[in-house]
Amino acid sequence: MPKVLVSDKLSETAVQIFRDRGIEVDFMPDLGKDKEKLAGLIGQYDGLAIRSATKVTEKLLESADNLKVIGRAGIGVDNVDIPAASKKGVIVMNTPFGNSVTTAEHAIALMFAVARQLPEASTSTHAGKWEKNRFMGVELFNKTLGLIGAGNIGSIVADRALGLKMKVLAYDPFLSEERAQQLGVKKVELDDLLGRADFITMHVPLTDKTRNILSRENIAKTKKGVRIVNAARGGLIDEEALAEALQSGHVAGAALDVFATEPATDSPLFNLPNVVVTPHLGASTTEAQENVALQVAEQMSDYLLTGAVSNALNMPSVTAEEAKIMGPWIKLAGHLGGFIGQMTDEPIKSINVTYDGVVSEMNLNALNASVIAGVMKVSNPEVNMVSAPAIAKDRGIQLATTRQEAAGVYDGYIKVTVITDQRERSIAGTVFSDGKPRFIQIRGINVDAEIGAHMLYTRNKDVPGVIGALGSTLGELGVNIANFQLGRTSSGEDAIAILYLDEPMSDEALAALDKTGKFLQARALQFEV
């Protein structure tokens, strides 16, 4: 039974879903804050469900020996080292829409709060002061809002702001003119937005490109009297520079839900007038937390139980239906890669995969990942479908795929060709209606070989006596043959044999074959069937 750890404060709906789906779950909502304890426990789990408090670093992943999936109940995944997770073969998923309305509403709430100094007015009134003349606000009506980032949350903010009769500008290099028109916003360059906006709200992920996007220099380009709202990520703004701009009066107000360091217990922005701060509450509504908990638990359970992948950041999506139909083909792809990987001792330059017939219509990203994982597993048993493409890329291995309509007697087949400096090697396989993968061609020679855990591949000149030598040598050593397939290019030329054995070929058995002098090559192969 798979085991999942919930290390942040997710709604207990998630726990219930895991249990209902037959997954063991430990709910430790404060564990994310205790790095060492988390590192000590993570090794037991197949899944980790988190929000933003748990930091999934490369170091933590080193202890995560059984981990298969990280589920982020929320949107931002800047607290997860995705390249390190990919290398470790761990899928990272999020819930891209579950809290977007809630977060957009928080941004709008912050905009109102900073326009009318609501928190300070509330504190003062609670204190029995009646400072009616101290709090003079501004209207949002007719003001210009500049959105930095117009994805899911930014679009919802735009819609609400248009309802408030604001004019909306958006800076987002990935926003098309057409979408901007649909949203009713004007797409502009960043400098243009900075110079024109009365309010700026931030809705971009924290990446190397967006970090410090409101730098000291860019803050200086803003319109005097601007109010800045950030409910996206702390690292987007230079907090020191913003504090100075507030103090000088260039920036009239700021409302911040997120900070460069969280939990933020100290900040240059604390205690400045007209700075509204909340402790990363953007996603904190009962509705959003139910949504994200439910979604993440379903997605993680689907993956752990059926192999279905949705909303993953480091793996192509595979539906449960696809996972079922593709399962045997994914296995075949892995075996084809495994055969080539075990036969190839020199560095691989490229892997070319042909998908023919029914299989050409399937999710080729997932099949490619399985081929590459099969090849790479030989030198690194930790590699899986998630990590393989990244590792292959790191090693400079090129991948090329060809799709073609059914070109032979099979409904479909996969052919893998690997090219090295020394040679080209290829193997093809298919899946029969019994769901069992088979090898159908090796070195261009047709065979029909069932795939077993232990196999033997031999190559010889097509002369009499070879088959007898093979049978008697293995027989004498007590190696039982389950299936024996032969093939040759033409009479007297190259011939091959592929045997499915009941036990592994020992070094002794290989040495005995070599001693007969009848084989050009004999190699023991293993497959995870």
Ligand X SMILES: O=C(O)C(=O)COP(=O)(O)O
Ligand Y SMILES: NC(=O)C1=CN([C@@H]2O[C@H](COP(=O)(O)OP(=O)(O)OC[C@H]3O[C@@H](n4cnc5c(N)ncnc54)[C@H](O)[C@@H]3O)[C@@H](O)[C@H]2O)C=CC1
- Name the nearest CA neighbour of 298 among 285, 284, 310: 310
Contact call for residue 99 and ligand Y (CB under 6 A): yes
Contact call for residue 172 and ligand Y (CB under 6 A): yes
User: Which listed option, ligand X, ligand Y, none, makes contact with residue 152 (CB within 5 to 8 Å by class)?
Assistant: ligand Y
Contact call for residue 160 and ligand Y (CB under 6 A): no
Among 17, 153, 330, 373, binds ligand Y (CB under 6 A): 153
Contact call for residue 106 and ligand X (CB under 6 A): no
The catalytically annotated residue of 51, 280, 335, 454 is 280
Closer to ligand Y at the Cβ: 259 or 500?
Answer: 259
- Name the nearest CA neighbour of 38 among 10, 76, 67: 67
Contact call for residue 334 and ligand Y (CB under 6 A): no
User: Which listed option, ligand X, ligand Y, none, makes contact with residue 81 (CB within 5 to 8 Å by class)?
Assistant: none
Helix (H) or strand (E) holding 241: helix 239-248
- Name the nearest CA neighbour of 231 among 194, 198, 270, 201: 201
Stretch that binds ligand X, among 70-78, 152-160, 472-480, 484-492 (CB under 6 A): 70-78
Among 51, 143, 233, 454, binds ligand Y (CB under 6 A): 233
Contact call for residue 153 and ligand X (CB under 6 A): no
Angle at 24 between CA 19 and CA 25, to 5 degrees: 85
Residue nearest ligand X, Cβ-based: 74
Among 146, 154, 374, 437, binds ligand Y (CB under 6 A): 154
Among 75, 252, 371, 497, binds ligand Y (CB under 6 A): 75
Among 23, 70, 231, 524, binds ligand Y (CB under 6 A): 231
Three-state SS for 289-324 is HHHHHHHHHHHHHHHHHHCCECCECCCCCECHHHHH
Strand partners, 91: 69
> What CA–CA distance (Å, rounded) separates 149 from 158?
11
Q: Which of residues 347-366 bind ligand X (CB under 6 A)?
A: none
* Other CB atoms within 10 Å distance of the CB of residue 189: 11
Task: Kindly list the strands in the beta sheet with 454-461, ordered across the sheet, starting from the edge strand earlier in the chain.
Answer: 481-488, 494-501, 454-461, 521-526
Six token digits for residue 29: 């909502």
> What CA–CA distance (Å, rounded) separates 7 from 4?
10
Among 51, 280, 331, 518, binds ligand Y (CB under 6 A): 280
Closer to ligand X at the Cβ: 232 or 469?
Answer: 232
* Other CB atoms within 10 Å distance of the CB of residue 374: 28
Q: Which of residues 16-55 bind ligand X (CB under 6 A)?
A: 51-52
Residue with tokens 């409302």, as numbered in its chain = 255
- DSSP E strands in 468-509: the ranges are 481-488, 494-501
Contact call for residue 200 and ligand X (CB under 6 A): no
> What CA–CA distance (Å, rounded) separates 166 from 392?
50
- Give the contacts of 437 (CB within 8 A, at least 6 positions apart): 328, 329, 331, 332, 335, 429, 430, 431, 451
Contact call for residue 75 and ligand X (CB under 6 A): yes
User: Which listed option, ligand X, ligand Y, none, makes contact with residue 100 (CB within 5 to 8 Å by class)?
Assistant: ligand Y
Q: How many residues bind ligand Y (CB under 6 A)?
A: 31
Interface mask toward ligand X for 245-284; x: CB under 6 A: -----------------------------------x-xxx
Among 149, 337, 338, 412, binds ligand Y (CB under 6 A): 149
Contact call for residue 205 and ligand Y (CB under 6 A): yes
Contact call for residue 99 and ligand X (CB under 6 A): yes
Contact call for residue 259 and ligand Y (CB under 6 A): no
> What CA–CA distance (Å, rounded) separates 31 from 9?
9
The catalytically annotated residue of 244, 262, 322, 450 is 262
User: Which listed option, ligand Y, ligand X, none, makes contact with residue 51 (CB within 5 to 8 Å by class)?
Assistant: ligand X
Shortest CB 40 distance to ligand X, Å: 23
- Active site annotation includes 233: yes
> What CA–CA distance (Å, rounded) separates 79 from 190?
26
3-class secondary structure, 489 = coil
126: left (phi over 0), alpha (psi -120 to 50) or beta: alpha
Closer to ligand Y at the Cβ: 235 or 357?
Answer: 235
Interface mask toward ligand Y for 26-65; x: CB under 6 A: ----------------------------------------
Q: Look at the chain and count its residues.
A: 529
The contact set with ligand X (CB under 6 A) reads: 51-52, 74-76, 99, 280, 282-284
- Residues within the interface to ligand Y (CB under 6 A): 74-76, 99-100, 103, 148-154, 171-174, 203-206, 209-210, 231-233, 257-258, 280, 282-283
Residue numbers annotated as active site: 233, 262, 280
